[in-house]
Amino acid sequence: MLALLEREPMYGYQLRSEFDAATGATWPLNVGQVYTTLARLERDGLVAPGDPDDEGRLRYAITEAGKAELAGWFGTPVVSSDRPRDELAIKLALAVTVPGVDVSGVIQKQRAATIVAMQDLTRLKAAGNDDLSWSLVLESMRYQLEAEVRWLDHCESSLARAARARNGAGNTEQTATKQTGVRR
Amino acid sequence: MLALLEREPMYGYQLRSEFDAATGATWPLNVGQVYTTLARLERDGLVAPGDPDDEGRLRYAITEAGKAELAGWFGTPVVSSDRPRDELAIKLALAVTVPGVDVSGVIQKQRAATIVAMQDLTRLKAAGNDDLSWSLVLESMRYQLEAEVRWLDHCESSLARAARARNGAGNTEQTATKQTGVRR
DNA sequence: CGACACATGTAACACGTTACATGATTTG
DNA sequence: CAAATCATGTAACGTGTTACATGTGTCG
């Protein structure tokens, strides 16, 4: 919000559409949330309601405090500790500890879903959008999804190795990558 | 929580330590939260308090409904739409739209931080932990961080290209990757 | 004995999210 | 004219997170 308001004062509805434009509607933003957030930002003195425009729309402007906050945001890198927990990582980490879970089944389903997501992305990208922000976000997702697939592969081979270690040294059937049935 | 309780009934404090063990303390979990979550899970009928053990500790057990929920979780891949918004992606997407922001500065700081994070990871990994869950989570982070660096590089060259497009065709000074000062 | 880990909780807060209500304006 | 878009809000809910209170056991 602050970043958008730094460009120029905007009213709520406009903020939503500008945000969607910037992120390519990848993470759609509920309009209602804009207003609640605006109220919270005003509470914290980061924005201020100002001159209503020609039509009665109330534009909010960023304050000095808001500019400082924004500059801090841009100037401070995102570190692991303020990233949200990675659900997928947790899921697999736990899956391998719970007996009866078909871990490779989980991995395979996930990889399939991830690959579909990548294809959707490619399709989106093909439906020409020359906007820079748009394409950066899309590329971000692509890099992440690619990494995810690679990680899933790594997990599978890790699993296979662990299974091989558990079984006798001479026993070389690839059981680990071929089990079926989901728990129980 | 459900995944841990599927292994065996546990009490609150134990759940915390088991979770930390599984995720390698990557995303430390506040103990208090375990109890509130446990209360909410009980409210939803997914766990049930049961037989207190030899010391007076109250163990919670997963219910049938909880098992179903858990099986659903393991059986359903994580898709983009239920992933949280990517703060870094949004940050850069907006940075390029706000005039006066030193985008390559942001990128460089982020890359530095990301690389440090990768080194921390390597160090952690070196401090021997042969636990499978642990190492899967660590690898997950490594893959993600690597992807992030690659994406940041991509962003920089994307930016440079955009800048070249803005400037005249003959004008080939590399202004885009060399600006300084953070807005204003 | 004092500090620290173990162990259980609760109150308060902030935030994201949804659903709903309401009205003006535009457009097929 | 009806439907859709524009536009502004609010109430309610769920959850993550922190801070605090409280007590027991253990170990240097």
Query: Cα–Cα distance between B43 and B47 in angstroms, integer?
Result: 8
Query: Cα–Cα distance between B32 and A41 in angstroms, integer?
Result: 29
Confidence of residue B57 (pLDDT cuts 50, 70, 90): confident
Q: Are residues B153 and B128 in the same domain?
A: yes
Model pTM? 0.88
Considering only the beta carbons, identify the residue of B26, B75, B93 that sits closest to A133: B93
Q: Are residues A59 and A94 in the same domain?
A: no
Burial code of A134-171, b = ≥16 C-beta within 10 A, e = fewer?
Answer: bbbbbbbbbbbbbbbbebbebbbebbbeebbeeeeeee
Identify the domain boundary among B80, B105, B137.
B80
Confidence of residue B52 (pLDDT cuts 50, 70, 90): confident
pLDDT at B152 over 90: yes
| Inter-chain touch B78–A92, beta carbons under 8 Å | no
- The burial class, CB within 10 Å (0-12 / 13-18 / 19+), for A69 is middle
Q: Are residues B60 and B100 in the same domain?
A: no
Q: Are residues B7 and B57 in the same domain?
A: yes
- Please state whether strand D lies within 7 Å of residue A58 at its CB atom: yes
Contact B158, A158 (CB under 8 A): no
Q: Are residues B159 and B104 in the same domain?
A: yes
Contact B152, B114 (CB under 8 A): yes
Q: What is the pLDDT of residue A173?
A: 46
Q: What is the pLDDT of residue B178?
A: 39
Question: CA at A119, C1' at D16: how many angstroms apart?
Answer: 33
Contact A118, A146 (CB under 8 A): yes
> Is the model more confident about B15 or about B25?
B15
pLDDT at B40 over 80: yes
Q: Are residues A14 and A50 in the same domain?
A: yes
pLDDT at B8 over 60: yes
Q: Which domain holds residue B135?
A: 85-180
Q: What is the pLDDT of residue A61?
A: 94
Q: Are residues A53 and A69 in the same domain?
A: yes
Q: What is the pLDDT of residue A164?
A: 83
DSSP B52-81: E-SSS-EEEEE-HHHHHHHHHHHHS---GG
pLDDT at B7 over 70: yes
Strand C-proximal protein residues, Cβ less than 7 Å: A 29-30, 32-33, 36-37, 40; B 11-14, 17, 31-32, 35-36, 39, 55, 57-58, 84-85
Give one word for B25, left, alpha or beta, with left for phi > 0 and alpha for psi -120 to 50.
left
Residue type, position A10, single letter: M
- The helix (run of H) or strand (run of E) holding residue B23 is helix B12-23
Long-range contacts of A57-60 (CB under 8 A, 24+ apart): A57/A11, A57/A13, A57/A14, A58/A11, A59/A9, A59/A10, A59/A11, A60/A5, A60/A9, A60/A10, A60/A11, A60/A12, A60/A15
How many domains in chain B?
2
Q: What is the pLDDT of residue B168?
A: 65
Q: Are residues A50 and A92 in the same domain?
A: no
Burial code of A93-119, b = ≥16 C-beta within 10 A, e = fewer?
Answer: bbbbbbeebbbbbbbebbbebbeebbe
Q: Are residues B174 and B91 in the same domain?
A: yes
Q: Which of B8, B133, B140 to mutate to test the interface with A (most CBs of A within 10 A)?
A: B140
pLDDT at B175 over 50: no
Identify the domain boundary among A80, A103, A128.
A80
Query: Cα–Cα distance between A2 and A7 in angstroms, integer?
Result: 9
Q: Are residues B142 and B156 in the same domain?
A: yes
pLDDT at B182 over 80: no
Question: Across chain B, what does the average pLDDT equal?
Answer: 87
* pLDDT, tens digit only, all 184 positions of chain A: 999 999 999 999 999 999 999 988 889 899 999 999 999 999 999 999 987 777 778 899 999 999 999 999 999 999 988 899 999 999 999 999 999 999 999 999 999 999 999 999 999 888 777 889 999 999 999 999 999 999 999 999 999 988 787 776 544 444 444 333 333 3
Identify the domain boundary among A44, A63, A80.
A80
Q: Are residues B56 and B42 in the same domain?
A: yes
Q: Are residues A54 and A119 in the same domain?
A: no
CATH number at residue A43: 1.10.10.10
